[in-house]
Amino acid sequence: MILTNRVFTAMLAWQTLATCVVSAIIFVMYGKYAAISAGLGGFSIIFAAAMASLIFVRNRNKNDAAAILISLIVSEMVKLVFVFSFLFLVFKHYKSLVPVALIIGLMAAVLVSGAAMSKLVSK
């Protein structure tokens, strides 16, 4: 299966679900500020993945290996810029931040992203 809008949409849905589940668990265990922090961590990955997938899907019909590689590199750079920018804003402006919860939310979204992509592409 090639990478399509459906694959990226499914990946983003899995990331969103994982972020919500982790945030809910953290809310029950540690409270609302930790849950918000976990949600912000997951959202940073979800938003960056959405932006990167738009760039990659836009260029998916190219057959040249160099063009595909450049598209992949550009989409990953966009993803990194969005993640770092969003996390910078969160650390700077969210005064009730719980850093461990933020990292847990971020990790959940990243791990589900890799698992979802490998599962969806292998079909």
Range of the domain at 54: 5-122
Q: What percent of the chain has pLDDT over 70?
A: 89
CA dihedral angle for residue 27, residue 33, residue 39, residue 43, rounded to 10 degrees: 180
Q: Which are the contacts of 113, defined by CB distance < 8 A and separation ≥ 6? A: 11, 14, 15, 45, 49
Number of domains in the chain: 1
Average pLDDT over residues 53-73: 79
Lowest mean per-residue pLDDT among 29-43, 47-61, 108-122: 108-122
Measure CA of the first residue to CA of the last residue in the chain; give whole Å. Answer: 6
Residues 42, 14 contacting (CB under 8 angstroms): no
48-57 per-position pLDDT tens digit: 988 888 887 7
Query: pLDDT band at residue 117, thresholds of 50, 70 and 90?
Result: low
